[in-house]
Chain A
Amino acid sequence: MNNDIAAQHPDAQGQLMAHAVDACVHCGFCLPACPTYTLLGDEMDSPRGRIVLMKSVLEGELPLLDAAPHLDRCLGCLGCVTACPSGVPYGELISGFRGWAEPQRRRPVIQRLTRSAVLTMLPRPALFRAGATVGKYAKPLAPLLPQALRAPLDLLPSAVQPAQPLPAFTPAHGPKRGRVAFLEGCAQQVLTPNFNAATVRVLSRNGIEVVVPPGQGCCGAAAMHTGARPLALQQARRNLDAFDPAGVDAILSNAAGCGAGLKEYPMLLAGEPEEGQARRLASKVQDISVYLAELSAAGGLEPFMPTTRPLRVAYHDACHLAHAQGVKAEPRALIRSIPGVELLDIPEGDLCCGSAGTYNIEQPDLAGRLGDRKARNVLSVRPDIVVSGNVGCHTQLQSHLTRLGSPVRVMHTIELLDLAYRGEL
């Protein structure tokens, strides 16, 4: 699509955005892949429409305020990227755009407060834990609060699990087959501490040494996707210091969003002095499922115990695995390799569950409708367990399945593998 964005925004981010707009031939192939278009049925809330809106704003044809409501509804799920045959890097466009637009926005006070509270708390597990504990007591008050405050409260867990800190080094069990560095993630340490514990157990059992570099922190994805670019840069730099890609086979993440966040460093740091370093780090980043699938292909995994009864396991594609990282086959192959497990695909599998980082807080209505739709789609295949590779999806699935009164268990892929090793499935 014709544009003269680069002329008006000559920096590296401007170039990236101009390139993305350029690549779009407005064919509309992305429309059915977009959750908001699916729900709302209008062009402004479609990927193609958003591209035109951003272009119009960047070219000065349209005031930012006119475009903002539709751009704010974008989940950043990147379903459109998977669907786009022209290879439009939509993620680079929306992230770049939000980074450029946010400083110019005047948001209402409550919105500003919740945003900054979320961005402050999420990356700090201790703070988040404290917040969650307070939240637990505040929950009964929820009906009295305005919607803007109720939404973030809904997101907090009703029971805070005890912390399970990871050792800085876990040796390989048996003959050593590899060495990885592990990104702990922030919110998930509080919400679902077992994900990390299970990850380290499964890796170690398969002969992998796990290093958890001290000094690491939030990947910065939440900040980047909400337009808080300076904070995202700061968080990225911190991780660039903490991780040494040269010393390990891979840098692993078990949270789709965080893995994708690390892989986006080259885009975030385009034009910054650390760009090269960001590329080196990003090239080593893998999702836990990809690393294990490769390990399995290269010499096999330790055998799993068969399940005690036939189990129907539905796999939910987290957007940041399937769309942002292109990882679909590997987790499925791993799940299928457990004897006694039948793998099920969920209808409308490519549609986001509505979790999408802080979306539940910022767009509670759409997030709720998508969560409900996802939960019903999950139930339609009658699974015993539903598995995903992302903490956000996990929380969203859990809360909507519970609301529908369903006993289906929600797990991370790695928890399923871990339980299979322990014979507890």
Chain B
Amino acid sequence: MTVSGPARPGAPDRAGLARDLTRLLGDGKVLSTLGERLNYRYDAIQFGATPLAVVLPESTADVVAAVRAARQAGVPIVGRGAASGLSGGAAPAQEGLVISFTRMTRLHIDPLRREARAQPGVVTLQVSEAARPHGLVYPPDPASFRTSTIGGNLGENAGGPMCFKYGVSGDYVKALEFVDADGEVHRLTRDAYDLAGLLIGSEGTLGLVTEATLRLTTPARYTRTLMSHFAEVGQAAEAVSAAIAGGAVPSKLEFMDRACVNAVEDYLQIGLPREAGAVLVVDTDGDDLETVEHELELVEQACMRACGTVRRAADEADSAALWRARRSVSPALGRIRPQRMNEDIVVPRSVLPDVVREIERLGQASGLHMVQFGHIGDGNLHPNILFDPRQDSPEAVHQLAHEVARVAIRYGGVLSGEHGIGSMKVAFMQEAVDPTTLAALWDVKRALDPGMALNPGKVLPQPEASDA
């Protein structure tokens, strides 16, 4: 048997899949025409195989029925949220069934327990909006938070600027309901074996999340923002290391290089310093104004020592504009070249200056257009290669991405901070993870999804030996 093969041997009825699903679920929830299916082959970075059918479930029972029908037909299953993923996670590697959660949008806030119960299709921002009237917030804030779904966030264990101080999506999960590859429903809390933790970040390869109970917190009373710009990327990284070593715990600490700043300025026109080699945007927050100001002061001094020019946000609107700028980086890069390969490395903070400089050199030497930004407080960098497939060779792009991955590994870092491995980086995993660990990961996969039906071709590289 090949690992990526269909769920069940026998005589799979692929053609009848859509028909069976429609019989089980009714007409409005099943998509079967080519025009409908074509649109479920991509995520934000990659086009994959056109699915045989698409289901838009409205309840856990619908998901169960769909999983069983796919099993019956012997086809793989790909879960899909808003398809804003940047590693090809939701783009099917093979023909099969796509289960798109965008209509499972029930959300319930329990202010007393400080929790939100969300179906997977709930858009991230909506959790915070629904919590706000109760004086609560949901901190995980990927730049895609207006679009991406809770299911997708958990699939990728998404993080955002807030994750430096407040953690990533997975840190806010109290309980999960999921449907396994057999169509059985499970409800997990985080006691005993942290199976929920295993599912979070597994990119839909171990189970399909159908409901999550999320922890809400109270927002910090005070927030202060500053922006600092530097002549060169290494200086910005030095300031980051120094500020944190000096005792500051910023709530957000973000970095963008010159090309990013210019792309955003083209889009928003809010007067960003186009000439700067690198820019940091920093928030400190807390309930005690004095501490918040003091921490900002620490950051400010670190920036100035690294030869940065500092501007404090005048008011809330000013700070909102700066953060909007940072959030717009990734999509605004589309203005430079139509396509991009997105890296998502994490390296120890102590080596940041060397890493950003080395990556910048790699980019310059390659002749391709490479830019960098990221949640630098965490050591999470997004070097992006922007390219035009009509002019640039895909091999060169891939090779440069691989070089970047190697820099991360060489400096003791990892391949993915938040966007996942997906299909984009699956090949790099072979080098990043030792064979024993990889074998253990495969064991987990086999235990939970023995038929290899869930999102095949993602996360785990085909091991040469262990698949026999």
Chain A interface residues (CB < 8 Å from chain B): 1-2, 22-29, 31-32, 41-44, 49, 52-53, 56, 61-63, 66-67, 69-70, 84-87
For residue B103, give the distance in angstroms from its CB to the closest CB of chain A: 4
In the complex, identify which listed stretch (B239-247, B274-282, B332-340, B424-432) lies at the interface while the others stay far away: B332-340
CB pair A66–B35 under 8 Å, yes or no, is yes
Within 8 Å CB of B34, what residues of A? 62-63, 66
In the complex formed, the residue of B with least CB distance to A69 is B35
The reply on B309 being an interface residue by CB < 8 A is no
In the complex formed, the residue of B with least CB distance to A45 is B39
Q: B267 contacts which of A27, A32, A56, A85 (Cβ < 8 Å)? A: A85
Within 8 Å CB of A85, what residues of B? 267, 328, 331-332, 334
With A41-B102, A66-B33, A66-B35 already in contact, the answer to whether A22 and B335 are too (CB < 8 A) is: no
CB pair A42–B102 under 8 Å, yes or no, is yes
CB pair B334–A70 under 8 Å, yes or no, is no
Within 8 Å CB of B121, what residues of A? 41
CB pair B334–A52 under 8 Å, yes or no, is no
Within 8 Å CB of B39, what residues of A? 42-44, 49, 52-53
The reply on B36 being an interface residue by CB < 8 A is yes
For residue B222, give the distance in angstroms from its CB to the closest CB of chain A: 26
The reply on B301 being an interface residue by CB < 8 A is no
For residue B171, give the distance in angstroms from its CB to the closest CB of chain A: 25
CA distance A369 to B266 in the complex (A): 36
Q: A25 contacts which of B38, B83, B331 (Cβ < 8 Å)? A: B331
For residue A373, give the distance in angstroms from its CB to the closest CB of chain B: 15
In the complex formed, the residue of A with least CB distance to B58 is A41
In the complex formed, the residue of A with least CB distance to B331 is A85
CA distance A69 to B45 in the complex (A): 26
9 A–B contact pairs at CB < 8 A?
A25-B331, A25-B339, A27-B144, A27-B334, A28-B148, A52-B39, A52-B42, A53-B35, A86-B267
The reply on B31 being an interface residue by CB < 8 A is yes
The reply on B87 being an interface residue by CB < 8 A is no
In the complex formed, the residue of A with least CB distance to B146 is A32
Within 8 Å CB of B59, what residues of A? none
CA distance A316 to B33 in the complex (A): 38
Q: Hey, what's the 0/1 contact readout for B322-344 against A, CB within 8 Å counting as 1?
A: 00000010111111001110000
Within 8 Å CB of A69, what residues of B? 35
CB pair A86–B334 under 8 Å, yes or no, is yes
In the complex formed, the residue of A with least CB distance to B263 is A85
CB pair B100–A43 under 8 Å, yes or no, is yes
CA distance A32 to B121 in the complex (A): 12
CA distance A1 to B47 in the complex (A): 10
CB pair B102–A25 under 8 Å, yes or no, is no
In the complex formed, the residue of A with least CB distance to B264 is A85
Q: A43-B40, A85-B332 are in contact. List 8 more A-B contacts (CB 8 A).
A: A28-B83, A28-B147, A29-B331, A41-B121, A49-B39, A53-B39, A66-B33, A86-B267
In the complex formed, the residue of B with least CB distance to A87 is B335
Per CB-CB distance, the 7 closest pairs between chain A and chain B, nearest first, are: A86-B334, A66-B35, A25-B334, A85-B331, A43-B39, A41-B103, A41-B102
Q: Hey, what's the 0/1 contact readout for B381-413 against A, CB within 8 Å counting as 1?
A: 000000001000000000000000000000000
Within 8 Å CB of B328, what residues of A? 85
The reply on B84 being an interface residue by CB < 8 A is yes
The reply on B179 being an interface residue by CB < 8 A is no
CB pair A2–B338 under 8 Å, yes or no, is yes
In the complex formed, the residue of A with least CB distance to B98 is A43
CA distance A67 to B35 in the complex (A): 6
Q: Hey, what's the 0/1 contact readout for B142-171 against A, CB within 8 Å counting as 1?
A: 001011100000000000000000000000
Chain B interface residues (CB < 8 Å from chain A): 31, 33-36, 38-40, 42-45, 56, 82-84, 100, 102-103, 105, 121, 123, 125, 144, 146-148, 266-267, 328, 330-335, 338-340, 389
Within 8 Å CB of A52, what residues of B? 38-39, 42
Within 8 Å CB of A66, what residues of B? 33-35
Q: A24 contacts which of B82, B123, B334, B340 (Cβ < 8 Å)? A: B334
CA distance A41 to B144 in the complex (A): 17
CA distance A49 to B44 in the complex (A): 12
Within 8 Å CB of B340, what residues of A? 25
CA distance A42 to B44 in the complex (A): 16
CA distance A69 to B39 in the complex (A): 14
CA distance A44 to B244 in the complex (A): 46
For residue B339, give the distance in angstroms from its CB to the closest CB of chain A: 7
| Chain A interface SS verdict (over half) | loop
CA distance A44 to B148 in the complex (A): 17
Within 8 Å CB of B84, what residues of A? 27-29
Within 8 Å CB of A24, what residues of B? 334
CB pair B38–A41 under 8 Å, yes or no, is no
For residue A122, give the distance in angstroms from its CB to the closest CB of chain B: 30
For residue A208, give the distance in angstroms from its CB to the closest CB of chain B: 30
Within 8 Å CB of A2, what residues of B? 338-339, 389
In the complex formed, the residue of B with least CB distance to A52 is B39
CB pair B103–A86 under 8 Å, yes or no, is no
Q: A31 contacts which of B42, B82, B334 (Cβ < 8 Å)? A: B82
CA distance A15 to B100 in the complex (A): 34
Q: B36 contacts which of A27, A41, A44 (Cβ < 8 Å)? A: A44
Within 8 Å CB of B100, what residues of A? 42-43
Within 8 Å CB of A53, what residues of B? 35, 38-39
Within 8 Å CB of A63, what residues of B? 34
CB pair B123–A25 under 8 Å, yes or no, is no
CA distance A23 to B56 in the complex (A): 29
CA distance A87 to B265 in the complex (A): 12
CA distance A255 to B339 in the complex (A): 38
Within 8 Å CB of B35, what residues of A? 44, 53, 56, 62, 66-67, 69-70
For residue A222, give the distance in angstroms from its CB to the closest CB of chain B: 26
In the complex formed, the residue of A with least CB distance to B332 is A85
CA distance A27 to B330 in the complex (A): 9
CA distance A66 to B32 in the complex (A): 11
In the complex formed, the residue of A with least CB distance to B330 is A27
In the complex formed, the residue of B with least CB distance to A71 is B35
CB pair B389–A29 under 8 Å, yes or no, is no
CA distance A67 to B334 in the complex (A): 26
CA distance A53 to B34 in the complex (A): 10
CA distance A398 to B340 in the complex (A): 47
CA distance A44 to B146 in the complex (A): 19
CA distance A264 to B21 in the complex (A): 45
CA distance A29 to B121 in the complex (A): 15
For residue A139, give the distance in angstroms from its CB to the closest CB of chain B: 33
CA distance A22 to B123 in the complex (A): 27
With A28-B144, A44-B35 already in contact, the answer to whether A86 and B335 are too (CB < 8 A) is: yes
CB pair B331–A32 under 8 Å, yes or no, is no
In the complex formed, the residue of A with least CB distance to B121 is A41
CA distance A43 to B335 in the complex (A): 23
Within 8 Å CB of A23, what residues of B? 334-335, 338
Residue picked from A2, A29, A56, most chain B C-beta under 10 Å: A29
CA distance A69 to B36 in the complex (A): 10
CA distance A52 to B267 in the complex (A): 23
CA distance A67 to B36 in the complex (A): 8
CA distance A24 to B389 in the complex (A): 14
For residue A349, give the distance in angstroms from its CB to the closest CB of chain B: 14
For residue A18, give the distance in angstroms from its CB to the closest CB of chain B: 11
CA distance A304 to B309 in the complex (A): 46
CB pair B31–A42 under 8 Å, yes or no, is yes
For residue B334, give the distance in angstroms from its CB to the closest CB of chain A: 3
Within 8 Å CB of B335, what residues of A? 23, 86-87
CA distance A23 to B38 in the complex (A): 20
Within 8 Å CB of B42, what residues of A? 26, 52
CB pair A25–B338 under 8 Å, yes or no, is yes
CB pair A62–B38 under 8 Å, yes or no, is yes
For residue B97, give the distance in angstroms from its CB to the closest CB of chain A: 15
CA distance A358 to B115 in the complex (A): 45
